[in-house]
Amino acid sequence: MVHSAPEGGKMNYYEVNFDGLVGPTHNYAGLSYGNVASKANASLFSNPKQAALQGLEKMRALSQLGLYQGVFAPNARPDIKTLRALGFSGSDSDVISQAAKAEPQLLKACYSASSMWTANAATISPSCDTKDGKVHFTPANLNNKLHRAIEAETTGRILQAVFTDEEYFAHHPSLPQHSLFGDEGAANHTRLTDAYGHSGLAIFVYGEDIHSHVKPQKFPARQTLQASQAVARGHQLNPKQCLYIQQNPDVIDEGVFHNDVIAIGNENVFLFHQKAFYEQAAAVHAIRQSYTGSRPLHLIEVSQADVSVEDAVQSYIFNSQLVSLPGGGMALIAPSECQQVNSVETYLSALKSASNPVDDIIYLDVKQSMRNGGGPACLRLRVTLSEQELAASNQSCILTDSLYQELVTWVSKYYRDRLCEQDLADPQLLVESYTALDELTKILSLGSVYDFQRI
């Protein structure tokens, strides 16, 4: 794997993508109301082994482009602590069988591998944007869905185990678990800037301002303005460098449950759908006004005539990763589903040849994740780090050829290739999952981040 060499004397900054490693209990449980794919595929068999290998293949592909690539450990599932808090008792095996009988929905929530979508793990502000010059982390409380709300605590621990050095990293607790502060993390946060190491414009996109009547009618708005403001305050961002934009409530009702399903930004490029934002002309004007970079800003609006919202949701075109290549230019890392939707494929080939920084489109297969509504961008948490901050991070979590091989072997040893709802009642699945994850914490040098390791 090739990485760009630092230029003499200059402090380089990199975007490091930490992809969520898919956990051993990946399954389709229909848990996310408002996420079209999650509901549509609720009764399918999943293939956890293939899901994890697809994820690792994606990490390897990005690394081979010369980008730094991180690995982010999953939450441990089943979440026995939550099941016990809900009144199930006895041995772990008793807890599972009682829950399977009495409350299968709760068991499914406690078995979800949803922490794989690390775009929802946290909001991160790079050190060049914060007053104290540290990288700030706030784990998302994800309080709109039970299966996701239970991620915050362990995710916070994993973040601290990856970014441990207090000289460089500041960790905040997740926001209070109340609907006023619904927070879904980086999926609703984009940073536009000249260059990774320059201060940037933090764009926070929210689904609902709880003091306003503008909100979706059918599906929930998961992110509130109040949550975004609280995160920005905690991260000591310059208020002049923050913009709060409301998502178009109509597209939330069409299945756009996070902003990263309808818009994607990287450095000085922002690609978004014509219907992405409420009062879009004013929103776009505000972005143009607030951007202070010296390199020109490329605002690329995709019209409804070129790609309908429906096609965008089906293909997940906007859930691509837009990455800056070490040799210059950018590549769009798109889900292979984009090749199956005509309007999208046509649009993407035009985008590639038009005069803008997007030079290449790379299609990747992450179908196991896509069936639960998570594309390439959902699977990664972007962390902009200086060379020093990168060196101060947990090196065991940075992908190398040998870590890739080790993780492929680990997945192949422990993961099943078929899982359905009935399997969740099998106490052996818990043993398999915890055994695998215990070993993973050693591979990634994380220490005891899981509840089952701390009792």
Ligand X SMILES: NCCC[C@H](NC(=O)CCC(=O)O)C(=O)O
**Binding region for ligand X (CB under 6 A):** 28-32, 35, 38, 112, 114, 117, 119-120, 148, 187, 258, 372-374, 378
Complex with ligand X: residue 122 or 170, whichever CB lies closer: 122
Min separation Cβ 352 and ligand X, Å: 25
Query: Which member of 128, 151, 171, 184 is catalytic?
Result: 184
Least distance (Å) between residue 30 CB and ligand X: 5
Q: Per the structure block, which two tokens stand in for 239?
A: 């208020």
Q: Has 38 been labeled as part of a binding site?
A: yes
- Residue 128 CA to chain centroid, in angstroms? 22
Spatial distance between the Cα atoms of 352 and 359, rounded to a whole number of angstroms: 5
Question: Does 298 qualify as catalytic in the annotation?
Answer: no
Phi-psi region of 164 (alpha: psi -120 to 50; beta: other; left: phi over 0): alpha
CA distance 420 to 47: 9
- What tokens does 147 get? 């299966």
Is residue 32 part of an annotated ligand binding site?
Answer: yes
CA 177 to chain centre: 20
Min. distance of Cβ 312 from ligand X in angstroms? 14
184 among known catalytic residues: yes
| H helical segments located in 103-164 | 104-111, 146-149, 152-162
Rounded Cα gap, residues 48 and 226, in angstroms? 36
- Minimum distance, C-beta of residue 276 to ligand X, in the bound complex (Å): 16
Q: In the complex with ligand X, which residue's Cβ is closer, 137 or 169? A: 137
Catalytic residue among 151, 378, 397, 421: 378
Q: Of 48 and 357, which CB lies nearer to ligand X in the complex structure?
A: 48
Nearest to ligand X of 231, 366 (CB atom) = 366
Which letter does DSSP use for residue 216 in this model? -
CB 381 within 8 A of CB 118: yes
Query: Is 279 an annotated catalytic residue?
Result: no
- Say whether 36 counts as a known binding-site residue: yes
Closest approach of ligand X to the CB of residue 58, in Å: 14
Residue 127, helix vs strand vs coil: helix
d(CA 348, CA 316): 12
Catalytic position from the list 136, 171, 235, 258: 258
Length of the chain: 455
Q: Which is nearer to ligand X, 121 or 348 (CB)?
A: 121
Are the C-beta atoms of residues 130 and 69 closer than 8 Å to each other?
no
Query: Encoding tokens for residue 176?
Result: 């209070």
- Residue 424 C-beta: closest distance to ligand X, Å: 11
Determine whether the annotation assigns residue 288 to a binding site.
Answer: no
Which is closer to ligand X, CB of 35 or CB of 226? 35
Check the annotation: does 356 bind a ligand: no
Is it true that the peptide bond before 78 is cis, omega within 30 degrees of 0? yes
Helical packing angle, 48-64 and 401-414, nearest 10°? 180
Q: Which residues sit in the known binding site for substrate? A: 29-38, 120, 147-148, 222, 260, 372
Q: Which residues are catalytic?
A: 184, 258, 378
